[in-house]
Amino acid sequence: MKKISRPARRNDVPLKTGGYARYISDLHFEGMLFAATYRSLRARAIIKSISIPHLPEGYCIVDHVLGLNRVKMLVNDQPFFAEERVNYIGEPILLVVGPDKEKIEYILSHIEVEYEDLEPVFTMEEAEKSGVIVYGTDNRITSYELLKGDPEGAFLSADETFEAEYETGLQEHVYIEPQGMVAVFENNRITVYGSMQCPYYIKRSLMQGLGWDAGRVRVVQTTTGGAFGGKEEYPSIIAGHAACAAIKTGRPVQIIFEREEDIRYTTKRHPSRIRIRSVSDSNGSVAAMDIDITLDGGAYAGLSSVVLQRAMFAATGVYDIPNVRVRGAVYATNTVPTGAFRGFGGPQAFFAVEMHMHELAERTGQNPLYFKMRHAVKNGGYTVTGGQMREEVKLQQMVQTLDRMSGYSKKYKAFQNTDPEKYRGVGLSLFFHGCAFTGSGEKDIIKANVKLKKYADGRVEILVSNVEMGQGPQTTLRKIVAEALEIPLDKVLYDNPDTDRVPDSGPTVASRTVVIVGFLLQEAAKKLKKRYDSAAELEVENEYEQPAYVQWDQNNFRGDAYPVYSWGVNAVEVEVDPVTLVATVKGIWGVYDVGTPIDEKIVRGQIEGGMVQGLGYASMEVMEGANGKMRQGTLTDYIIPTPVDFPEMKIKLIDNSYDFGPFGAKCAGELPFIGAAPAFASAVQHALGVPVRRIPVTPEYLMEVVDGEDTNCSQR
């Protein structure tokens, strides 16, 4: 892609040269220094004193910001640098800055901090019951409740209830490129380059941390090697550190994490504990559900409130249950803060409800596929928040297609597991994912704005704050604009976002880039097309307008939680060794409704990657803490899937055009992650004939289950 002709700035850095992408570690500035973080060794303690060794010439300590020492987020509770106390092992206390990385490490190893230890809280159970208060008045970061129908009346008239508890663990993002930032202070302005998802999140956080106005802060995304949510909110901390170091030294400063530092101290997926109590009517249909969702937020609030809301909105899955109560809470613990991760609360909720429906089916001797479809929402049906399904729901077609592809129904009946050499099982999941921010978030909070700039030579540049991080917008957004303008693809330009040049079109999260920003660009291109033949340079803008049908009451969580949903159904076949209880995946099938795909190859890549990541979450990605410290710190002891772990996937797309998506497209990025875990877990349950209520499903866990040590189930 050619560089666009425009006036150069002194601190402009070409992020693409000669067809090669330049990642943050490829950026080198004259006189650049390096910085590394000194982190807390205690989970909860008062800092009494800090002893710094002699600093050689050219080295310095950075331990405060110029403005408010709080990272700007939904709740401003997390400091850039710890103040009087620390709240988790790994919390940043200060930076050592200088020209030589080895000397920086030497200085870090000789810093001594005197702590006064305070009693910590390490688990959700301790946060609820121990009496030790580490956050707020009762350790709750936030809590909510929503109602549908009359669940109390349904349970009062019930003869029998079934109740079970489901658990999910931590998960590390394992993006290819670790976290990294470079800050440059020049002409009384700060410019931060980095690996990120949300340039304007970082810009606003820097403005707050430095106490500066918008004109003095510039943020530029460098080519980003993966993110999965891990580079949504967390990079604001590193950007603040690099900026303060650059301002203090007057020289460019680079901070790039080593892999172990990244694994141990950056945000993770929220662990969850979800208890579901259900009751059936006289026809054997589920009449009511009472659902309690508890998430571990770690030491600070971060994005936990929205993760919890999304989990609650997915609490009954794809099922139209008439009477529901959902209560949710996030508890603070003295552990690494949890945060954004692909699926954003949905995977935890769908694992619980899918396994619950599977158990209900088996308890009544029914094929889980038929039982689930009896309860599945249909055209015109209602979600747990009372939102109506206005678009066509093609679940019946999708399930029939999946059954033919995988042979699920035949295999479910045929696998009797009488062979002593192997146990065979097949499982399935039905799921959706809401596209875009919840409720009125797009209209009232994000208020996305996009621009198209036409140059005199006919090229058109996309100006949005959304980033390419491997999911494909450099292709899909360009295709949308090129198609709408009826011009060749190579005439559409889209560079990495620079907040000096692009408007705030919202973050690259929530499966919103194509469906929301892509649609805005399509409409902007329609406006531009009317003037495209003009020889003059010109710009066209477009702002988000919420579809009139979306109605939402944020105070009571009532109405349309999302403008539209994408859908999926998965089947997984496993063999379980009867001695070791190692489960081997023998088949994977998926059918998806993502509207009309903009680029089918990219969508299939997203699906395959998402399913592998979800199967890793379900089967092998074990991350545990010991007294507040992560046991796993490398890719040797945190195991992720490789290409040999799973067989070739069979995937089919079902077209279901969406009126407010570009050329009919809906969201695709997060959806394929969600269904993998319950499909795998239910296959293992089918193979062994014992309940599976926790992921990852390791052989050690299965031994507990087979021995009857993990029941977590009650019946009245």
Mean pLDDT calculated for residue range 655-668: 98
pLDDT in tens, 505-551: 999 999 999 999 999 999 999 999 999 998 899 999 999 999 999 99
Confidence band for 21, pLDDT divided at 50, 70 and 90:
confident
Give the model's pLDDT for residue 12: 57
Buried b (16+ CB within 10 A) or exposed e, 173-205: bbbebbbbbbbbbeeeebbbbbbbbbbbbbbbb
Distance CA 215, CA 118 (A): 42
Question: What is the pTM assigned to this prediction?
Answer: 0.95
pLDDT value at 1 more than 80: no
Give the model's pLDDT for residue 246: 98
For residue 101, what are the CA distances in angstroms to 107, 253, 255, 264?
A: 10, 12, 11, 20
518: which DSSP letter? I
pLDDT value at 5 more than 50: no
Report the percentage of the chain scoring pLDDT > 70: 96
Mean pLDDT calculated for residue range 495-501: 98
Q: Which residue has the higher pLDDT, 606 or 157?
A: 606
pLDDT in tens, 670-713: 999 999 999 999 999 999 999 999 999 999 999 999 988 554 54
3-state secondary structure of 705: helix
Mean pLDDT calculated for residue range 363-368: 95
Check if CATH label 2.60.40.3670 holds for domain 441-532+539-543.
no
Which residues contact residue 372 at a Cβ distance below 8 angstroms, ignoring those fewer than 6 apart? 318, 319, 357, 358, 361, 428, 430
Average pLDDT, the chain: 95
Mean pLDDT calculated for residue range 659-673: 98
> Sign (positive/negative) of CA torsion 349, 354, 356, 357?
positive
Give the model's pLDDT for residue 713: 44
Side-chain-facing half-sphere of 101: CA atoms under 13 Å: 8
Give the model's pLDDT for residue 7: 32
Which among 637, 641, 636 is positioned nearest to 624, based on CA atoms? 637
Confidence band for 416, pLDDT divided at 50, 70 and 90:
confident
Least confident of 131-145, 160-174, 412-426: 412-426
Helix (H) or strand (E) holding 255: strand 253-256
Give the model's pLDDT for residue 710: 54
Q: Domain residue spans in the chain?
A: 369-376+404-436+563-624+631-651+669-710, 441-532+539-543
pLDDT value at 257 more than 60: yes
Confidence band for 18, pLDDT divided at 50, 70 and 90:
low
pLDDT value at 407 more than 80: yes
For residue 85, what are the CA distances in angstroms to 95, 116, 368?
A: 17, 9, 51
pLDDT value at 120 more than 60: yes
Q: Would you state the structure tokens that stand for residue 429, as one six-digit string?
A: 């999941």
Mean pLDDT calculated for residue range 169-183: 98
Angle between helices 676-688 and 699-706 (to 10 degrees): 40
Check if CATH label 1.10.3210.10 holds for domain 369-376+404-436+563-624+631-651+669-710.
no
Distance CA 192, CA 252 (A): 10
337 phi/psi in degrees, rounded to 5: -55, 140
pLDDT value at 38 more than 50: yes
On the question of a common fold for 369-376+404-436+563-624+631-651+669-710 and 441-532+539-543, the answer reads yes
Task: Kindly report whether the peptide bond that precedes residue 151 is cis, defined as omega within 30 degrees of 0.
Answer: no
Helix, strand, coil shares of the chain, percent, nearest 5, are 30, 25, 45
pLDDT in tens, 605-625: 999 999 999 999 999 999 999
Mean pLDDT calculated for residue range 295-318: 98
Confidence band for 20, pLDDT divided at 50, 70 and 90:
confident
Other C-beta atoms lying within 10 Å of the C-beta of residue 100: 13
pLDDT in tens, 54-86: 999 999 999 999 999 999 999 999 999 999 999
